[in-house]
Amino acid sequence: MSAQNTASIQTLLEAERDAQQIVEKARQYRTQRLKDARSEAQKEIDKYKSKKDTEYKEYEDKNSGNNDDAEKEAQKSIDTQLSEIKKSQEEGKKVIVDNLLAAIVKSDPQMHINATKV
């Protein structure tokens, strides 16, 4: 019986080794699948990131032109207002000079009411 026991023990040991090999292969397969999944996920993340970066750049380029247009419009408005102010100043300047000259030339000297006549 001892030969039969040894054969049974040998069979069990071989079965145990086979089971360990199967478990080891399963672990390796699982590890490889996790690595593959991580690399695929990273690729998708990179692809999504580059897509969003491109969309952002397009949006930024599209809307930065609006700032340039707004700056040009503001500058045009400022120039118009400045020209109106200068025109108003030139017109007012002539009236003020005429009024000052009239006051100086057409003076009618009178004695102040608090001054006493001597």
Model pLDDT for residues 12-71, shown as the tens digit of each residue: 999 999 999 999 999 999 999 999 999 999 999 999 999 999 999 998 888 776 777 778
Q: Does residue 1 have a pLDDT over 70?
A: no
Q: What is the pLDDT of residues 57-86, one digit of tens each?
A: 998 888 776 777 778 889 999 999 999 999
User: In one letter, which amino acid is 108?
Assistant: D
Buried b / exposed e over 32-47, threshold 16 CB at 10 Å, is eeeeeeeeeeeeeeee
| Token digits of residue 57 | 């750049």
- Total-model pTM: 0.45
Task: Please report whether residue 60 resides in a domain.
Answer: yes
Task: Please report whether residue 98 resides in a domain.
Answer: no
Task: Please report whether residue 44 resides in a domain.
Answer: yes
Instruction: Report the domain count for the chain.
Output: 1
Which DSSP helix (H) or strand (E) runs through 115?
none
Q: Are 88 and 82 in contact (CB under 8 A)?
A: no
Q: Residue 111 contacts by C-beta under 8 Å, 6 or more apart in sequence?
A: 117
Which residue is associated with the tokens 């069979």? 11
Task: Please report whether residue 19 resides in a domain.
Answer: yes
Task: Please report whether residue 110 resides in a domain.
Answer: no
Binned at pLDDT 50, 70 and 90, residue 118 comes out as: low
Please tell me the predicted confidence (pLDDT) of residue 115. 82
Task: Please report whether residue 53 resides in a domain.
Answer: yes
- Report in angstroms the alpha-carbon separations of 74 from 77, 78, 79, 80, 99: 5, 6, 9, 10, 37
What is the domain extent for residue 76? 10-82
Task: Please report whether residue 115 resides in a domain.
Answer: no
Task: Please report whether residue 56 resides in a domain.
Answer: yes
